[in-house]
Amino acid sequence: MTELPYVAATELAALLDAGDISAVELTETLRARVEHLDDKLHLFLKRTDERALSDARAADARRSSGDRLSLFDGVPIGYKDIFVTRGVPTTCGSRILEGWVPPFDATVVERCSRAGLPILGKLNMDEFAMGSSTENSAFGPSKNPWNLKTVPGGSSGASAALVAAGGAPWAWGTETGGSVRQPASLCGVVGVKPTYGLVSRYGMIAFASSLDQAGPLSRTVKDSAALLTIAAGHDPLDSTSIPQAAPDYLEGIDRGIAGMRIGIVKEIESGDGMQPGVGERVQEAYQRLEKLGASIEEVSLPSFEYGISAYYLIAPAEASSNLARYDGVRYGLRSSDGSDVGAMMARTRAEGFGDEVKRRIMLGTYALSAGYYDAYYGKAQRVRTLITRDLERAYASVDLIACPTSPTTAFKLGERTNDPLAMYLSDVFTVPVNLAGNAAISVPCGVSADDGLPVGLQLIAKSLDEATMFRAAYAFEQDLGWIDSPEGRPPL
């Protein structure tokens, strides 16, 4: 049998049901694993060991009396520290929220708790989810288990690293421009960006409201499908939540992809900045998909290349407003400096926010200013519409679009911290999907020949067509067999 830390949640569920393991045993094992990992990788901003254990004991009691809350009752989970958790400090990776204890649970957390998932703790992230490496965390970066000198990606870097290194079968991350898929790619795990509105944003600390979406990270496609099933579906507390119930994404996931039409993007195949080893693996992946019965055809997405430009106007603009509430008046950090309320607010924000957050607040404030709105924010919104239309047009002839998740594998810590633009380009293939609102997944396709680090294949689906996306990703994963092989595990 696979060592417990690497057993998938869907399999753990069966072991728990069979009485082969207990939730307490599982939780203890993961806790010990996390203890070991956390020293090396710096994954948690807050661990909730005691609570996880008491949650596990409760789960075991339910199972023994035959009324488990769900199939996964007792399977532990970690949350990116962007989800508010009742009674558990939540910082969003920022000094400005240090010490704040939320009085409520995010809908994602609440639904997972209702399914009986013990909470392991809160995971590191780039401050307010702004970044692609976790180096923008106010509490220090996390590291990639494949190579401790490299970043795990971001902003949900610690969520991806935790799952990759066997600290938990699954974890929640969030996306605004690729913050689940890119770290999933860099850490060699599965990461999902659901359709905008599929998962409630209630209790997910806002970065850019029109783009933010929570997404599962796991080692297997099935686990992500199962986790999404738990949390997806309409939430009356989020007005942008799609008013319909979500299906069970495990159903029909193994039907294969014979006859599926998969598009590869003409414009980005020739794109520069692509690491040769990444290109190689992704080409192989396309061939594998074809071998599995899909037809591969070229699609044109001419507006794709404007994604980053539009994104870096829209996201900062919304962020500049979303982050205005951190002013020291009601919660979190309050500067002791300041002769009046205006000075107190300004000093609090100067002391509490990191450089990247300040940079984006300034960008966004500028983009929304009178006289500049049309040229920047307004135009970016029009580009967004173009990208959405391009994708819609492409889906007239294909069911899915395939491309790399990230142009490179994990880069070295510190390599891009002084070059924001290089950092922003990590998300060149993921950002257009957030702008259009579609669903996408990153699934591992092995390691790059040039550095031995994982490469992710991205599959982009139509809005609300997660089922097709999971089906293709699962078929690919099973045929590749990488995740279940020793090669699919980081050397840690």
Partner 1 sequence: MSMTATDLYETTVGLEIHVELATASKMFCGCPVTFGQEPNTRTCPVCLGLPGSLPVANERAVEHTMKIALALDCRIAEHSLFHRKNYFYPDMPKNYQISQYDLPLGYAGAVEITGGFGTTRVGITRVHLEEDTGKSIHVGGSGRIHDSHYSLEDFNRAGTPLVEIVTEPDIHSAEEARAFVNELRALLESLGVSDVRMEEGSLRVDANVSVRRAGETAHGVKVEVKNMNSVRSVGRALEYEQERQRKALESGERLIQETRHFDEKSGTTSSGRAKEVSSDYRYFAEPDLVPFEPTAEWIERIKSSLPELPAARRERFVAQYGLGSADVEVLTSTTSLADWFEAAAAAYKGEPKKVVNWIVADLFRLLNEAGIEVGAAKISPAQLARLVELVDSGAISGKQAKQVLGDMFATGNDPEAIAAERGMQQISDEGALDLVVAEVIEQNPGVADKVRGGNIGPLGFLVGQVMKKTKGQANPGLVNDLLRSKLVE
Interface ranges with partner 1 (CB under 8 A): 83-84, 90, 92, 97, 100, 102-104, 106, 201-206, 208-210, 236-240, 317-318, 320-321, 324-327, 329-331, 341-342, 345, 365, 368-370, 373, 377
CA end-to-end distance (rounded Å), the chain: 19
Using the minimum distance from each CB to partner 1, give the nearer residue, 89 or 247: 89
Residue nearer to partner 1 on the CB measure, 77 or 368: 368
Q: How far is the CB of 244 from partner 1 (least distance, A)?
A: 15
Query: 155, 303, 406, 463: which is the annotated catalytic residue?
Result: 155
| Minimum CB distance to partner 1, residue 84 (Å) | 4
CB of 100 to partner 1, least distance (A): 8
**How many CA atoms lie within 13 Å of 105's alpha carbon, on the beta-carbon side?**
10
Q: How far is the CB of 203 from partner 1 (least distance, A)?
A: 4
Task: Provide, rounded to whole angstroms, the least separation between the CB of residue 460 and partner 1.
Answer: 22
d(CA 10, CA 2): 14
Is residue 80 annotated as a catalytic residue, yes or no? yes
Q: How many CA atoms lie within 13 A of 117 on its CB side?
A: 27
Active site includes 222? no
Residue bearing tokens 């929304």? 368
Residue closer to partner 1 by CB (options 139, 474) is 139
Of 80, 122, 222, 462, the active-site residue reads 80
Side-by-side strand order, sheet with 213-218: 44-47, 119-123, 77-80, 170-175, 213-218, 190-193, 439-447, 454-461, 400-404, 261-265, 295-299
Q: Tell me whether residue 270 or residue 336 sits nearer to partner 1 (CB atom).
A: 336
CB of 196 to partner 1, least distance (A): 10
172 or 326: CB nearest partner 1: 326
DSSP 330: S
**What is the rounded CA–CA span in Å between residue 175 and residue 164?**
18
Check: CB of residue 24 under 8 Å from CB of residue 57: yes
In the bound state with partner 1, the residue whose beta carbon lies nearer, of 24 and 97, is 97
Provide the minimum distance between the beta carbon of 345 and partner 1 in the complex, in angstroms, as a whole number: 6
Closest by alpha carbon to 395, among 271, 260, 269?
260
Conformation bin of residue 150: beta by default, left when phi > 0, alpha when psi is -120 to 50:
beta
Minimal distance, residue 472 CB to partner 1, in Å: 31
- If one counts every other C-beta atom within 10 angstroms of the C-beta of residue 86, the result is 15
DSSP type of residue 151: -
Q: What is the DSSP string of 73-119?
A: TT--EEEETTB-BTTB---TT-GGGTT---SS--HHHHHHHHTT--E
Burial class (CB in 10 A: 0-12, 13-18, 19+), 140: exposed
Asked whether 446 and 455 are in contact (CB, 8 A), the reply is: yes
Percent of residues in the chain assigned helix, strand, coil, to nearest 5: 40, 15, 45
Nearer to partner 1 by Cβ, of 6 and 331: the residue is 331
Pairing assessment for the beta strands 439-447 and 454-461 based on DSSP bridges:
antiparallel
User: What does the DSSP 8-state code read for residue 194?
Assistant: P
Least distance (Å) between residue 330 CB and partner 1: 6
CA distances to 47, 136, 274, 327 from 418, rounded to whole Å, are 31, 11, 20, 27
**Annotation says 442 is catalytic:** no
Name which of 208 and 265 has its Cβ closer to partner 1.
208
Instruction: Report how far Cα 190 is from the mean position of its chain's Cα atoms.
Output: 9
Reading the block at residue 285, the tokens are 């992946």
Token reading at 142: 């996390």
Single out the catalytic residue among 132, 142, 159, 179: 179
Q: Give the integer Cα–Cα distance in Å for 94 and 145.
A: 24
> For residues 351 and 484, which CB has a smaller minimum distance to partner 1 in the complex?
351
The residues carrying an active-site annotation are 80, 155, 179
